[in-house]
Amino acid sequence: MTVVQAAAPERLPGGDEAATFITTNPTLWQRLLGNPTAMFSIAVLVLLSLSAILAPWLAPGNPMKVSPADRFIGPGAEYFFGTDNLGRDMFKMVLHGGRTSLAVGLIVTAISMSIAVVLGAISGFYRQVDVVLMRLVDGLMAFPGIVLATAAAAILGPSMQTVITSLSIVLIAPSLRIVRGQVLVVRELQMIEAARAVGVPTLRLFTRYILPAVSSPILVQASFVFSAAVLGEAGLSFIGVGIGPKELSWGNALTEARNYITQAPWIVLFPGLALMLTILALNLLGDSLRDILDPRLARRR
C-alpha cells in the first residue's frame, strides 16, 4: 500500500502573523447566507440586474416610442407601470433605463477602485509619493463631490462618457485614502519586513502579501462606490448635466416626470423606487460585508 502524505500548507514570511492577516475565507458565502440583511440585498440586486439585462425580452419594443393617445394612463394590465406625459410605457422605460444606470455604476466602480487600489498601495508604501498624492486627494475632497462632478460635466457636455469620467475622478479620492490607510498598517507587519529582507520583488510583494491583506475593506468600499455612482448619475441627469436627454436612465426618467408628480405620481414612483431599492440594497450589502469581514465592528454596535 502506498501512503500519500498531504502537502503541508505554504508558510509565508512572518509565520503565525502572516497566517492571521493573509487568509482566504472559503466560508464567506455561507456567512452571507446566514445574514438576512445580506441575502435581502443580494436578492434585490440580482432581481434588478436580471431585469435590466433581460429588458429587451421582458419589455420588447422601443421604450422611447411616443403615443399621444395614451398619455397619463395609470398602472394596469395593459401598461404595468402606466404611461408618461408623452404616452411612453413606463415599464419599458424603467427596465431599459436600469441598463444605463447600472452600467454606469459598474463601470465607474471598476475604474475608480482600480485606480484607487494602485495609487493607494503606492502611496502607502512609498513615503515620498505619499506626500504628493495626499495633498492632491485633500484638494479633491475639500469640495463636495457633486459640485466637482457637476462642474466637470458642465465643461465637457452631457454624455455617458462625461458622467463616467467625472464620477470616477470624484470617487477615486475617498477610496484611495482607505486603501492607503490599510497599506500603512500592513507594511509594518513582520511578514512584510521579512519578505523585503529576503529580497521579494516589489510587485510580488504587492500582489502576494499586501493586496490580499487589504482585500476586505476594498470589497466593502466597492459596494459603497457602486451606490454613490448610481446615485451620482441620477443626480447629474436630474439637474441636466447627465448622460443626455436622448438616453434612458432612472435619472432622466425622474427629470422628465418631476413636473407631473401631482397629476400622474406613478411616473415618479416607479423609477424612484428602482433607484431607491438599488441604493438601499448596495448600502445594506456593504454594511453586512463589513460586519462579516471585520467582526470587531459588529461587536461595537
Mean pLDDT, range 202-230, rounded to an integer: 88
May I ask the CATH architecture of the domain 28-59+82-300? Orthogonal Bundle (1.10)
Domains of the chain: which residue ranges?
Answer: 28-59+82-300
Q: pLDDT tens for residues 44-80?
A: 999 999 999 999 999 998 999 999 999 999 999 989 9
Residue written as grid cell 441627469: 237
pLDDT in tens, 78-131: 899 999 999 999 999 999 999 999 999 999 999 999 999 999 999 988 888 888
Q: Which of 12-26, 104-118, 129-143, 244-258 has the lowest mean pLDDT?
A: 12-26
Q: How far apart are CA 162 and CA 152, in angstroms?
A: 8
Q: Is the pLDDT confidence value at 148 over 90?
A: no
DSSP string, 257-271: HGGGTTT-THHHHHH
